[in-house]
Amino acid sequence: MRVPLSFEERTGYLPQLLLDVIKRLRLDLGTKVKISEAAGIHGDLRHRQGYSVAMTVDESRLLQVSVFSMLHRDVRRLDINSLLPDVATIADEIDGQLKLQMLRFMAADATERAANN
């Protein structure tokens, strides 16, 4: 919360990133996927908003904790046979999204530094 943002500025990206997680869960196991373009856009956005790398990583970690907490809360309604593979898929997708966010964030940072030199 060190960067002053409105609720929309702070959370507006979440629906698309979560939709991309859902799309990934609906694919057959082993299907190759392109990581969410929304994740790259989010990395650019967070850079412009003044986030640090650590803040963006924390944000991704909080997303995973929130998703896994929700799964735990509703575990009785879930298919136990698919739960662990789905958790692995969710973690892989969110980690892949974070990687793309960081690549775009660092590219924006490098461009900014080059422009200032």
Which pLDDT value is given to residue 68? Answer: 96
- What tokens does 70 get? 């929700």
Annotated domain spans of the chain? 39-46+61-111
- pLDDT computed for residue 25 by the predictor: 92
CA-closest candidate to residue 56, choices 94, 6, 111, 7? 94
pTM score of the predicted model: 0.90
- pLDDT tens for the chain, residues 1 to 117: 589 999 999 999 999 999 999 999 999 877 888 878 899 999 999 999 999 999 999 999 999 999 999 999 999 999 999 999 999 999 999 999 999 999 999 999 899 999 998
Q: What is the 8-class DSSP label of residue 6? A: -
